């Protein structure tokens, strides 16, 4: 009898303890966020990815009632940041700016990664899409895409293009351009698009194909030659598409989104998504994206965003294959 009563007491205690833990977890989710959130960005300060992250972090801070702090962890084509976030506690207080590099290109570029792009992350939502724009220094002798291609064909390997690093969207855009235009323009990688743009504006790079070009164009130090989209951008109506400029089929469509570590509770993901959607609805945010050279953002629920990312991965792998880029 004593043994039976003891067993019952232990069962009741375990039930109460389990209920208390469940209540505590539910309460924590209900009160999320109760402290600052860190947004990890795998690119250097001053570049297009950094600009997007800081704009969204500012508005999400207001929506969530807690600071969203940007932490730049540049290097290895954003793999350093991805590995860090993949191994972070799944509580919603560490999130990451996802890009086609972290969730697409790198899986095909690198023979092995220390994270799994889909399995090790939970989706939060889409931020924006942005085509690449070809830029040259303002005093460049190349006034058009045809001028640049002609010069590159006349002197293979003499011209160079910059990027935010090996495996970045700028790297792949340049490699794909080389292949499709039949030219040999040397690749010079940097630790982020910010440093690359600094060199471009100083006239030490010949060309770059990058997102978020408008602030640099407006600085008067670079000149756009073509945009890699299906239509011209409303903020740069005089800049032709690559197809209009003579290179058929050259389209790049980069995106930005937010992810969290895998197994982040769904209520937390929903709270973060709601804050993101609210931020994207702001006319100031929409205007800022257009002014950066991106297209107005389209809000997505977490599952819709994840389906978009999953669908695009084979296409990105094909772009890597077509460009002939590979990292070991």
Give yes or no for residue 22 having a pLDDT over 60: no
Interatomic CA distance for residues 319 and 81, integer angstroms: 23
| SS3 category, 249 | coil
Sequential DSSP letters for 8-43: HHHHHHHHHHHHHHHHHHHHHHHT--SS-EEEEESS
> Residue 262 has what DSSP assignment?
T
pLDDT number for residue 10? 54
pLDDT number for residue 24? 44
- CA 189 and chain centroid, separation: 17
> Which of 157, 260, 174 has the alpha carbon at shortest distance from 210?
174
pLDDT number for residue 20? 46
Sign of CA dihedral 179, 181, 184, 188: negative
Give yes or no for residue 120 having a pLDDT over 90: yes
Give yes or no for residue 13 having a pLDDT over 70: no
User: What confidence tens digit (pLDDT) does each residue in 178-210 have?
Assistant: 999 999 999 999 888 889 999 999 999 999 999
Give the confidence band of 21 by pLDDT, cuts at 50, 70, 90: very low
Q: How would you write 44-87 as a 3-class SS string?
A: CCCCHHHHHHHHHHHHHHHHHCCCEEEEECCCHHHHHHHHHHHC
Q: How would you write 178-231 as a 3-class SS string?
A: HHHHCCCCEEEECCCHHHHHHHHHCCCCCEEEECCCHHHHHCCCEEEEEECCCC
Residue 308 phi, psi dihedral angles, 5° rounding: -65, -45
pLDDT number for residue 277? 97
71-75 long-range contacts (CB < 8 A, ≥24 apart) are 71/38, 71/39, 71/40, 71/41, 72/41, 72/43, 72/44, 72/45, 72/192, 73/40, 73/41, 73/42, 74/41, 74/42, 74/43, 74/44, 74/165, 74/191, 74/192, 75/42, 75/165, 75/191
- The pTM for the full model equals 0.78
User: What confidence tens digit (pLDDT) does each residue in 24-50 have?
Assistant: 444 445 689 999 999 999 988 888 889
pLDDT number for residue 211? 85
* Average pLDDT in the chain: 89
User: What confidence tens digit (pLDDT) does each residue in 258-313 have?
Assistant: 999 999 999 999 999 999 999 999 999 999 888 888 877 778 999 999 999 999 99
Give yes or no for residue 15 having a pLDDT over 70: no
Interatomic CA distance for residues 39 and 68, integer angstroms: 7
Number of H helices, E strands in the chain: 12, 10
Tokens (6 digits) for 40 = 């990890």
């Amino acid at each position: 009898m004593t043994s039976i009563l003891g067993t019952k007491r232990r069962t009741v205690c375990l039930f109460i303890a389990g209920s208390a833990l469940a209540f505590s977890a539910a309460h924590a989710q209900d009160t999320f966020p109760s402290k600052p959130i860190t947004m990890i960005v795998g690119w250097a300060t001053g570049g297009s990815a950094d600009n997007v992250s800081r704009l969204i972090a500012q508005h999400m801070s207001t929506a969530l009632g807690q600071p969203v702090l940007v932490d730049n962890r540049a290097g290895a084509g954003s793999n350093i940041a991805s590995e860090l976030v993949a191994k972070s506690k799944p509580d919603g207080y560490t999130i990451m700016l996802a890009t086609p590099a972290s969730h697409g290109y790198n899986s095909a570029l690198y023979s092995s990664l220390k994270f799994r792009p889909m399995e090790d992350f939970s989706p939060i939502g889409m931020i924006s899409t942005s085509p690449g724009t070809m830029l040259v220094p303002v005093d460049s002798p190349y006034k058009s895409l045809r001028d640049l291609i002609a010069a590159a064909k006349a002197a293979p390997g003499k011209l160079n293009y910059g990027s935010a690093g090996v495996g970045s969207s700028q790297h792949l855009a340049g490699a794909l351009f080389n292949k499709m235009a039949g030219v040999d323009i040397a690749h010079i990688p940097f630790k982020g698009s910010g440093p690359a743009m600094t060199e471009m504006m100083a006239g030490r790079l010949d060309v770059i194909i990058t997102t978020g070009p408008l602030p640099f164009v407006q600085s008067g130090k670079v000149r756009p030659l073509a945009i890699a989209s299906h239509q011209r951008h409303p903020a740069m109506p005089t800049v032709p598409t690559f197809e209009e400029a003579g290179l058929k089929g050259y389209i790049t469509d980069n995106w930005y989104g937010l992810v969290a570590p895998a197994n982040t509770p769904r209520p937390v993901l929903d709270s973060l998504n709601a804050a993101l959607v609210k931020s994207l609805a702001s006319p100031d945010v929409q205007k800022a994206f257009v002014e950066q050279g991106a297209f107005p953002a389209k809000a997505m629920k977490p599952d819709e965003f994840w389906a978009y990312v999953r669908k695009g991965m084979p296409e990105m792998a094909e772009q890597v294959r077509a460009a002939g880029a590979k990292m070991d």
